[in-house]
Amino acid sequence: MDHSATTPVDPLVVDAMLPFFSETFGNASSLHSFGTESAEALSRARKQVADTIGALPEEIFFTSGGTESDNLAIRGVVPFNAGKKHMITSVIEHPAVLNTCAFLEELGHEVTYVPVDTDGVVDVDELEKSVRENTVLISVMHANNEVGTIQPLEIISDIAKEHNIYFHTDAVQSVGKIPVNVNDLGVDMLSISSHKIHGPKGVGALYVRKGTTISPIVFGGNHEKGIRSGTENVSGIVGFGKALELASERLEEDSLHMTRMRDSLISSVFDTISDVRLNGHPSLRLPNNVNISFKYVEGESMLMMLDMQGVAVSTGSACSSKSLNASHVLSALKIEDDFIHGSLRISLGRENTMDDIDHVVNALLETIAKLRAMSPLADK
């Protein structure tokens, strides 16, 4: 129930990867036949990735995952477009984007962080107002990892095009759950991660539209056309390609299945537990994301008690050394104090079943009842 964190590798993906460990182990840069086989495998995977998102194979650059892709898109573009020092992003981005932006600010670049509404949708008017003469990049995620809100990328793309600004999106959470096509979305760069879609960890890609001015952030032997040096993780890339191909073939079926489970889980919780709140947008929402706050109880305690009942979830309400801190996303959604400390993210996967949903609902009922019986707030 924590599939937004990571997913199990699909057995078909494992089968596709296995030959590339000890049989076809060549370095894709070597000119002999061993190397050629690996190079061919890479180009097949590149085509698989490109095909699923409506891109050209030469626009796909393999990386070590979503974080590196986000870093490359921002650090590879913002400092290398002459005189343009400003970029725009949102306050609810993944730390891979936010911390990269903070680094650029230290280097003297300017970053505008656009707010979101209480459902987690980026304020498009505010975004447009923050465009400047020297804005080089807009980076807004496709769907949020905590609350699942899907962003209006098509509208943001129009703004970017009108002002001749590059547009990057982190699509790590949306790929495999909703349609992702670089032309429909109108993006110039798009980050994907393999392990979120039943592929292996440590691999991902950045789509870079032809004609984008981008510089490498990792230098070396000119792999990936010099944009990302380092001997390619051939087995990982093969697995990633296969995983993405499967995700694309199964998209409609998986999405429907997850949406049904999601809606059933949400309505069961609302029917059986009082004082609850759905965080994120009610309909512009990833099919696999449920984020609910429970009054009078705290996130870590819920997480621990659910874990004891075999249910793995995550929380945006963590207890840190200073105080009970809500995540930057929940804070940006301006969730009331009563609710902000008791949030749970339950993220579903295609292998979950309706029986799992029943189990989660029962575990939640027990957990909330037990913790509320202990809470001084529940009786007041």
By CB under 8 A, tell whether 296 contacts another protein: yes
Which amino acid belongs to residue 336? E
Beta bridge partners of 169: 190
218 belongs to the binding site for another protein (CB under 8 A): no
Distance separating alpha carbons of residues 79 and 109, to the nearest angstrom: 8
Structure tokens at 210: 């032809």
**Shortest reach from residue 8's CB to another protein, in Å:** 19
- Of 319, 331, 359, 366, the one binding another protein by CB under 8 A: 319
Query: Residue 189: which H helix or E strand, with range?
Result: strand 189-193
* 334-353 binders of another protein (CB under 8 A): 337-338, 341
The mark string for 67-96 relative to another protein (x by CB under 8 A, - otherwise) is ------------------------------
State which of residues 102, 304, 354, 369 lies at the interface with another protein (CB under 8 A): 304
Question: How many residues interact with another protein (rule CB under 8 A)?
Answer: 26
Report in angstroms the alpha-carbon separations of 318 from 330, 366, 367, 370. Answer: 11, 21, 17, 19
Residue 251 touching another protein (CB under 8 A)? no
Beta bridge partners of 278: 292
Q: Is 248 helix (H, G, I), strand (E, B) or coil?
A: helix
Concatenated DSSP letters of 31-93? SSHHHHHHHHHHHHHHHHHHHHHT--GGGEEEESSHHHHHHHHHHTTGGGSTT--EEEEETT-
294 counts as binding another protein under rule CB under 8 A: no
SS3 166: strand
Q: Which of 218, 319, 365, 378 is catalytic?
A: 319
301 is an interface residue for another protein by CB under 8 A: yes
Q: Does 324 bind another protein (CB under 8 A)?
A: yes
Residue type present at position 120: G
Q: Given the structure tokens 């009922």, which residue do they identify?
A: 365
Q: Which of 106, 125, 355, 379 binds another protein (CB under 8 A)?
A: 379
Q: Which stretch binds another protein (CB under 8 A): 93-101, 274-282, 333-341, 349-357?
A: 333-341
| 184 touching another protein, by CB under 8 A | no
C-beta of residue 251 within 8 angstroms of C-beta of residue 176: yes
Active site residue 101: no
Cα separation of the two ends of the chain:
32
For the CA atoms of 241, 244, 249, 250, the dihedral, rounded to the nearest 10 degrees, stands at 140
Q: How far is the CB of 343 from another protein (least distance, A)?
A: 12
Residue closest to 89 by CA, chosen among 147, 46, 130, 33: 130
The 139-178 site mask, x for binding another protein (CB under 8 A), equals: ----------------------------------------
CB of 341 to another protein, least distance (A): 5
Q: Please tell me whether residue 331 binds another protein under the rule CB under 8 A.
A: no
Q: Please report how close the Cβ of residue 318 comes to another protein at its closest, in angstroms.
A: 8
Nearest distance, CB of residue 308 and another protein, angstroms: 6
d(CA 78, CA 98): 14
Using rule CB under 8 A, residue 32 touches another protein: no
Q: What is the DSSP letter of 229?
A: -
As annotated, the active-site residues are: 319
Q: Which residues bind another protein (CB under 8 A)?
A: 296-301, 303-305, 307-308, 319-324, 337-338, 341, 373-377, 379
